[in-house]
Amino acid sequence: MTKAELIGAIAGEAGITKAAAGKALDAFMGAVAKELKKTGKLGLVGFGTFSVIKRKAREGRNPQTGKAIKIPAKKVVKFKAGKGLGDKVK
């Protein structure tokens, strides 16, 4: 599903315009990003939990040449689905 398709689905379910649904989705994504940057964790009961984890620096291989390369440490976002979401997709 693309972002445009998601906006259309939200608009249809909520009975609002696609423009309003787009603004709501952008506001949601912005709020999630802001909270993850601030605290590193965001839980939505029945949906799931977003968290920030730190990946250590590691050594990898260039698949074309086989040469060893260094992969730097970085922070990544992790999502763990909640029970409510898991039950809906069964």
Instruction: Say whether both 48 and 83 belong to one domain.
Output: yes
Instruction: Write out residues in the chain with pLDDT < 50, as ranges.
Output: none
Claim to verify: residue 22 and residue 47 sit in the same structural domain: no
**What's the domain range around 14?**
1-38
26 and 68 fall within a common domain: no
Q: Are residues 24 and 45 in the same domain?
A: no
CA–CA distances in Å: residue 32 to residues 7, 10, 37, 67, 82: 17, 18, 9, 38, 16
Tokens of 50: 């977003």
Number of domain units in the chain = 2
What's this model's pTM, rounded to 2 decimal places?
A: 0.78
Q: Assess whether 34 and 44 both reside in one domain.
A: no
Same domain? For 6 and 20 the reply is yes
Q: Verify that 4 and 26 share a domain, yes or no.
A: yes
A 10 A CB-CB count for 77 gives 13
